Amino acid sequence: MPPATAFHGAPLVALRGVGKAFPNGVRALAGLDLDVRPGEFVALLGPSGCGKSTALRIVAGLSEPTEGAVEWAQAVTPVQSENRIGFVFQDPTLMPWASVFDNVALPLKLKGMGADKAAHRVEPALDRVGLRTFSRAYPRELSGGMRMRVSIARALVTEPQLLLMDEPFAALDEITRFKLNDDLLRMWQALRTTVIFVTHSVFESVYLSSRVVVMAARPGRVFAELAADAPYPRDQGFRTSPEYAAFCRRVSEALSRAMAAVGEP
């Protein structure tokens, strides 16, 4: 797969001057401008409270901006009308009384899809996350990493053009997190889905993304954008390479400057 600089053309989704103020007076976002092009893997990186999750919810149509707008390519409509967006939350939010299969099938059931047709979507989705043999298991019988895999399969089962992920691996141990990072990259390359991935981890953002967007807080806005030009596929060799270490330093330095910019316009 090509390096980050190969992604070009009209954005799939764009945030134009997006601001968000809550009733208590907190301004979560102000003047947020961001273009995300088809096929990109964009990491949103920033300190707690910089509005990363708020921006993701606005893109998903789960929250309305106070100012500015979200612009979509003509081929994509918001989640409420066409369900072309998949969302993976920090917590897997699975139904404890339902099997893995039924949890993954839920979005299709809500769309009114018949059981036979849904099965043809659910089974490949479970294959992608390595859980085909656990289709009849219940969430309580799964590890934390497996539950997150179910959540990812549920987001992918609708075959979305845009996958939004809000710190999905933050609560997992490092070994499980590395494994899921690798699995996520393989799925992204196979499906060619556009991804916006929120994380607090410099190392994760550099390993996964084609572009790292560093955000400053109070109010949240784009502080820096750094293209990750290392080609895909990426593996353990990339994690231990001088190129990876150097790019992590660049991103870390940008993040430090962003944190020092709190309160600046």
pLDDT digits (tens, 9 = 90+) for 86-140: 999 999 999 999 999 999 999 999 888 888 899 999 999 999 999 999 999 999 9
Looking at residue 81, its pLDDT comes to 40
Angle formed at CA 258 by CA 252 and CA 263, multiple of 5 degrees = 160
Q: In the sheet that 67-72 helps form, which strands lie side by side, from edge to edge?
A: 27-36, 13-21, 67-72
| C-beta atoms surrounding 68 within 10 Å | 18
Taking all residues of the chain, what is their mean pLDDT, rounded to a whole number? Answer: 90
Phi, psi of 104 (to 5 degrees): -70, -35
Looking at residue 62, its pLDDT comes to 92
pLDDT level of residue 48 (50, 70, 90 thresholds)? confident
pLDDT level of residue 218 (50, 70, 90 thresholds)? confident
Cα–Cα distance for residue pair 104/137, rounded to 1 Å: 12
With CA atoms as reference, report the closest residue to 58 among 47, 45, 72, 37: 72
Tokens of 88: 């993976």
Given the structure tokens 């921006």, which residue do they identify? Answer: 55
Looking at residue 75, its pLDDT comes to 56
Cα–Cα distance for residue pair 67/45, rounded to 1 Å: 22
* Cβ contact 139:58 at 8 Å: no
Given the structure tokens 């009733």, which residue do they identify? Answer: 23
Cα–Cα distance for residue pair 245/238, rounded to 1 Å: 9
